[in-house]
Amino acid sequence: MPFNIRRSQQIQVPVRSPLFDEVEGASEGSRERFAPLNRNWIQFFTALASKATSADENRYRPVIVLSVNGTLGIGSDLTPRLRFPLDIKPTGVLAEVKQAPVGDSIVLKILSNETLWMQLSIPDGQTSVSAAPQEVEDARPIPAGNNIRLDVVQVGTTFPGADLVVLLYT
C-alpha cells in the first residue's frame, strides 16, 4: 500500500510484514516472544524520514511511542518491551498527559536497559513538556538491542495525572 508523502512521492508501506519479528523458541505469551522491529518496517521508517522536508519535520518523522494508560502511579518499566536492531539517536522528546498532575509534577525517567538516558518533568497543572534541544543533542544514542524503558518516579499529590504518552522522534 503506498503512503503519500507529497503528491509526487510515494513509498511502500509493508502492510503484509509483521511489525516485530518473532523470536524462535520463545514461549507463547512471553515478553521475549516478539523481538526487534522487522527489517521491512525499519526500511519503511528510514524512507519516510528521508522524504520528510523541514515543513513536514514533526508530521512525518518516525516516532517511538511509550504510553501508560489510566491514572498514573509510581512504577518501574511501565511500558511493553521495546528494542531495535539499530542504534537510535532521537532528535526530539515530548511527554504529554491527558489530565495534568495537581499538587506536584510528574517526573519520568527514560532508560536504555538500566542506564538513565533522559529525565523529564511535567510541571504541576501542565499537560506536556519537551526536552530542551541541547538536552536531546547531549543524550547519547540508544545502542542496538537495548530495551527502552519508562519509569515514573513522581506524580501529583492531589491528582497524579493520567494517560501518559512519551514520543521519541528519530
pLDDT tens for residues 38-79?
A: 555 556 556 555 555 444 455 546 678 888 999 999 999 998
- List the grid coordinates of 39: 527489517
Q: How many CA atoms lie within 13 A of 111 on its CB side?
A: 16
For residues 36 and 147, is the Cβ–Cβ distance under 8 A? no
Cell 522536508 belongs to residue: 53
Residues 53 and 67 in one domain: no
pLDDT digit string (tens) for 89-146? 888 999 999 999 999 999 999 999 999 999 999 999 999 999 999 999 999 999 988 9
- List the grid coordinates of 144: 542496538
Residues 54 and 103 in one domain: no
Residues 33 and 92 in one domain: no
Interatomic CA distance for residues 18 and 2, integer angstroms: 17
- Structural domain harbouring 24: 1-61
Terminal-to-terminal C-alpha distance of the chain: 23
Q: In what order do the strands lie in the sheet with 128-130?
A: 63-71, 162-169, 92-99, 128-130
